[in-house]
Structure 1
Amino acid sequence: MLNGFSILEMMMALVIVSVMSLMIWPPMLSFLTRLDDETLPTQLIHVIESAKRQAYLHHRPVALCRTADGEYCIDAPSRHLLLFVNDKNTVGKPHRESKIATIDFAASGYLQWRSFPKYRQHLLFFPQAHVQTDNATLWYCLHANQSPRWAVVLNQDARPRIIYPDRAGALRDSKGHLLSCSS
């Protein structure tokens, strides 16, 4: 007598495993999204703190900007950040020797931001522990045309704080303006 499984038994086991995995997928996706909502703001704050530390260590201004290719600063939503020493007040492309790090921030989604004055596309941290902008708001969007998942607000002393959407699902900056994921 042979010990084994028939094709029918194997097919039934495969169907059961498929159905079970389809039932588990939505809660698993929700769990992973919640996990990202908890870890990504903390990672962004670590990047900001690193920029402040680098400015202090180098005794020179350090800039943080969004980048698509790791070489140029861009004024568009991105999931990559560029950290560099900004000796010559370079805005577009830092010199190779001044680049500190390129950070791949998020696997999915992208980072929007607004700093004041509005024409500035980077945050500039000084060794004296303040930032050149009046304040800045950086928010994370999972998909375009959806509400932002969270935001990090920087005051003039570059102290970050995390904010989450209110009960209505709206995310507002420190002045009460609604943050949006549409470009």
Structure 2
Amino acid sequence: SLSLPSFNEFWQRDHDAEIKLQVLNALQLAREAAQINSTSVAVCKSTDLIHCGGQWREGVLIFVNAAEDGVLNNKNQLIAAIAFPKATGQLLWRAFPFYRDYLLFSAIDTSNVNNGTFWYCRQQATTPRFAIIVNQSYRARVEYPDKNGVILDGRGKALVC
């Protein structure tokens, strides 16, 4: 029979995988929408799935963003509102080369796009469970802790919770 701690760990791993898959699917949808529509598409964090803002762990809005400002307004077409599974941990985002609180995908001009890293930390953890690194070509790759329990971002900097 399963003991309670091992069942809890199994549930946590399943939950971690579900969050990772949801983020990867959202990024893929935004990338494809930018290419298909030949326009800029933004992804922002959203608590209420109506406005940008809140926590990345709660969900995202994906929308056409010709102004490339990451602001969802009545001029922008909403592509998707995606609620993430109830996360007990944190989903964090760090953009490069400059700080943005959203991601911008463009089918035409890559001068105003950003790359960066998402990473997920379980509640009260000091190291992340996984990281999703997005390059300037909008390709995402998943990284896991090395033998020392560390994940490095695209610049070689250790991610912390």
Question: Structure 2 length normalisation: TM-score?
Answer: 0.84
Deviations 1:58-93 (A, max 9, x none): 221110111222233237553211111102234343
Tell me the amino acid that sits aligned with residue 20 of structure 2.
P
Tell me the amino acid that sits aligned with residue 48 of structure 2.
D
Pick aligned residue for 1:169 from 149, 152, 156: 149
Unpaired segments of 5 or more residues in structure 1? Answer: 1-19
Unpaired segments of 5 or more residues in structure 2? Answer: none
Q: Give the SS at the match of 1:36.
A: helix
Q: Residue 65 of structure 1 contacts residue 81 of structure 1 at CA under 8 Å; is this kept in 2?
A: yes
Q: Residue 56 of structure 1 contacts residue 129 of structure 1 at CA under 8 Å; is this kept in 2?
A: no
* Comparing 110-119 and 33-42, the one that deviates more: 33-42
Counterpart of 2:91 in structure 1 is 111
Structure with higher Rg: it is 1
Pick aligned residue for 2:113 from 132, 135, 154: 132
Q: Residue 70 of structure 2 contacts residue 104 of structure 2 at CA under 8 Å; is this kept in 1?
A: no
Q: Residue 86 of structure 1 contacts residue 94 of structure 1 at CA under 8 Å; is this kept in 2?
A: no
In structure 2, the CA distance between the partners of 1:28 and 1:66, relative to structure 1 (3 Å rule), is same
In structure 2, the CA distance between the partners of 1:125 and 1:39, relative to structure 1 (3 Å rule), is same
Deviations 1:24-77 (A, max 9, x none): 321111111222333432332221111011112222111011122223323755
Counterpart of 1:14 in structure 2 is none
CA distance in 1, matches of 2:20, 2:57: 15
Tell me, yes or no, if structure 1 residue 70 matches structure 2 residue 49. yes
In structure 2, the CA distance between the partners of 1:152 and 1:158, relative to structure 1 (3 Å rule), is same
Cα offset, 1:154, TM superposition: 1.0
Instruction: Give the paired residue count.
Output: 159
CA distance in 2, matches of 1:42, 1:129: 28
Q: Residue 71 of structure 1 contacts residue 94 of structure 1 at CA under 8 Å; is this kept in 2?
A: no
Counterpart of 1:150 in structure 2 is 130
Pick aligned residue for 1:45 from 24, 49, 53: 24
Pick aligned residue for 2:5 from 26, 44, 47: 26
Q: Give the SS at the match of 1:28.
A: helix
Tell me the amino acid that sits aligned with residue 113 of structure 2.
Q
Question: Structure 1 length normalisation: TM-score?
Answer: 0.75
**More helix per residue: 1 or 2?**
1
Tell me the amino acid that sits aligned with residue 86 of structure 1.
N
In structure 2, the CA distance between the partners of 1:158 and 1:127, relative to structure 1 (3 Å rule), is same
Of all paired residues, the percent bearing the same amino acid is 32
